[in-house]
Amino acid sequence: MREGLKSAPAWGAAWRDAAPGPAYDVVIVGGGGHGLACAYYLAKNHGIRNVAVIEKGWIGGGNSGRNTTVVRSNYYYPASARLYDFSVDLYEKLHSELNYNIMFSQRGMITLAHSRHDMEAAVKWVGAMNANGVATRMLTRADIARAVPFLDMSADARYPVLGGFAQEKAGTARHDAVVWGYARAADRLGVDIIQNCAVTGFMRSADGAIAGVETTRGTIACGRVGLAVAGSSTTLADLAGFRLPVSSYALQAFVSEPIKPVIDTVVLSLATGMYVSQSDKGGLVVGGGLDHYLSYAQRGNLPVAGNVLGALAEQFPALARVRLLRQWAGIVDVVADSSPILGRTPVPGLFINCGWGTGGFKAIPAGGTLLAHHIATGDPHPLAAPFSLDRFSTGALIDEAGASGIAH
C-alpha cells in the first residue's frame, strides 16, 4: 500500500529488460503469451535456461494485448478437445504456478441457438464434447432467460432464442497478467527478455540447419529457434524460406464504458457470431467475426464493426446506448481447418507455433508447453502430434471451422 502511493520505487521491475547476448541455446521469436510461456516451460520443465525471447515491440503488445480474454475448450474433435482442455486445466493452476494473480474467472460460457438447425447442431456438439471428456450441457430457453436476464427473449425478438449449451469451466482471465506472470517467472529462471528487437533474417549452417537469428540489434547465435508470432508467421517463414498455409486477417474487439454488473458469464450467439462478457472493471468486452480480406493493419473495418455492435444492440436492447471506450484489432493467423500448426518446419532447428487464428489466448499455457517440449526433446508432444504442418499434404485436417460454433 505504501509503495503504491509512492509510485513503487522499492518494488523494482518484475523482469529485466535484457540486451541481446551473443549466443543462446534457444531463441524464441515473439514476446506474447505463447513465446513467453514457451521460454518459461523450457526452463522449468526441461532445464534449458540459456534462452532468449526476442520481441519486435514490447511484450504482450500484439494479440496477447488485443484479445477478448475468453478461455474455453468447447471444441468438436477429440484432438482439439484434448489440446484445449489441457490448456484450461493449466489455466486453473496458473496463478499458483506463476505466483501471479491472473484473475482467472470460470464464469462459464453460454452459446445461444436461434433456430431448429442451431439446436440440432448444439445437441451434436454437446454429445461430441461430452464424449471427448469436455463437460458441457444443453440449456433450455428458461435456463438462458434466468442466466442472461438482459438478453432479448421476447416473442418478436429479431434473433429468437430457442435454447443453447454451456461449458461451465470456461471463463476469462486477465490477459496482461498472463503475459507479465510468464515474463516474471521466465526471467527468474534466467531467460533473457529482449524487447524492441525485430528479426531480419535467419543464419543457417552448411547443412541448412538454423545457426542463429539476425536482428535489428545484431546477430544472435543459437541452436534452435521457436516462432510464436501469430499474424506475422508468414513474414518470418518468408525470411526462413518456406511457405505456410496461413492467411492474416484483422479481428476486431470492443470495450465499453464501465457499467454495473449485467452479464456474469460469456455469451456467444450462433446467429450473429457476436459474443460478450463483462470485465471486472465493468466494461463490456465484445467481439465477433473477422474482417474478410488480408490485413496487416492493426485496425478493423467499419462494416464488421457495424455488424458486431448492431448484433449487441439488437440482442441486448438495454445495452444499446452504452458508449464504447475503445475499439481495436489484432492480426490473426487463420488456417484452412481453423486448427493450430505446431512443431517442426522444413528448416531443421526451426519450430513453429501458429495458426491459432481467432483463439490463441485460451491456448497460451498449452502452446507454450508443447512448443517447449518439441524444442527440448526433438519430438512432438502427443497432444501436438496431430497438429503438424504436414497434415496439409497428408490430408489429415482437423476441421474445426464451424465445428464448435465459433465464427473463425
Partner 1 sequence: MLRLSCPFCGPRDEREFHCGGQSHIQRPGPAEAVSDASWGSYLFDRINPRGHHAERWHHSFGCGRWFNVLRDTTTHHILAVYAMTEPVPDMVQSDSVA
Residue closer to partner 1 by CB (options 133, 306) is 306
Q: Which of 247, 269, 353, 358 binds partner 1 (CB under 8 A)?
A: 247
Contact 324, 253 (CB under 8 A): no
336 is an interface residue for partner 1 by CB under 8 A = yes
Stretch that binds partner 1, among 92-100, 237-245, 319-327, 364-372 (CB under 8 A): 237-245
State which residue, 243 or 323, has the beta carbon closest to partner 1. 243
- Rounded to the nearest whole angstrom, what is the least distance from the CB of residue 246 to partner 1 in the complex? 6
Q: Give the orientation angle of helix 364-377 with respect to helix 33-46, to 10 degrees.
A: 50
When binding is defined by CB under 8 A, the residue of 21, 160, 245, 310 that contacts partner 1 is 245
Least distance (Å) from partner 1 to the CB of residue 371? 21
Binding residues among 365-404 for partner 1 as defined by CB under 8 A: 392-395
Residue 252 Cβ vs partner 1, minimum distance, rounded to whole Å: 14
- Give the binding range for partner 1 (CB under 8 A) out of 80-88, 240-248, 265-273, 279-287: 240-248
**Is 327 a residue that touches partner 1 (CB under 8 A)?**
no
Report DSSP letters for 273-300, one per residue.
--EEEE-TTS-EEEEEEEEEEE--SSS-
Shortest CB 63 distance to partner 1, Å: 16
Radius of gyration of the chain (CA): 21
Cell of 116: 431448429
| CA torsion through residues 17, 55, 91, 289, sign | positive
Q: Rounded to a whole number, what is the largest CA-CA distance in the chain?
A: 71
Helix (H) or strand (E) holding 218: strand 218-227
Which residues from 31-70 bind partner 1, rule CB under 8 A?
none
Of 68, 111, 167, 234, the residue at the interface with partner 1 (CB under 8 A) is 234
- Give 210 or 244: the residue with its C-beta nearer to partner 1: 244
**Cα–Cα distance, 403 to 24 (Å, whole number):** 41
Of 76, 168, 62, 170, nearest to 128 by C-alpha is 76
Using the minimum distance from each CB to partner 1, give the nearer residue, 306 or 402: 306
Q: Which three cell numbers stand for residue 59?
A: 511484450
C-alpha cell at 261: 454488473
State the minimum distance, in angstroms, from the CB of residue 296 to partner 1.
Answer: 5
Which part of the chain contacts partner 1 (CB under 8 A), choosing from 79-87, 90-98, 148-156, 228-236?
A: 228-236
Nearest alpha-carbon partner for 375 in 355, 345, 398: 345
Q: Measuring CA to CA, which residue among 98, 5, 26 is closest to residue 364?
A: 98
Closest approach, Cβ 335 to partner 1, in A, equals 8
The interface mask with partner 1, positions 263-302, x = CB under 8 A, is -----------------------------xxxxxx---xx
Task: Tell me how far, at minimum, the Cβ of 192 lies from partner 1, in Å.
Answer: 27
Residue 337 phi, psi (nearest 5): -100, 15
Closest CB 315 distance from partner 1, rounded Å: 21
Strands 210-215 vs 199-204: parallel, antiparallel or unpaired: antiparallel
Least distance (Å) between residue 392 CB and partner 1 = 4
The grid coordinates of residue 126 equal 454437446
Applying CB under 8 A, which of residues 6, 116, 243, 321 lies at the interface with partner 1? Answer: 243
What minimum distance in Å lies between the beta carbon of 245 and partner 1?
4
Which of 63, 111 has the CB closer to partner 1? 63
Distance, in Å, from the CA atom of 133 to the CA atom of 135, rounded to the nearest integer, reads: 6
Contact (Cβ atoms closer than 8 angstroms) between residue 112 and residue 267: yes
Q: How many residues comprise the chain?
A: 408
Q: Which is nearer to partner 1, 288 or 365 (CB)?
A: 288
CA distances 88 to 81, 105, 173, 290, Å, are: 10, 11, 11, 24
CA 367 – CA 179 distance, rounded (Å): 13
| Count of residues near partner 1 by CB under 8 A | 24
Find the binder of partner 1 among 51, 173, 244, 263 (CB under 8 A): 244
- Residues in contact with partner 1 by CB under 8 A are 232, 234-235, 243-248, 292-297, 301-303, 335-336, 392-395
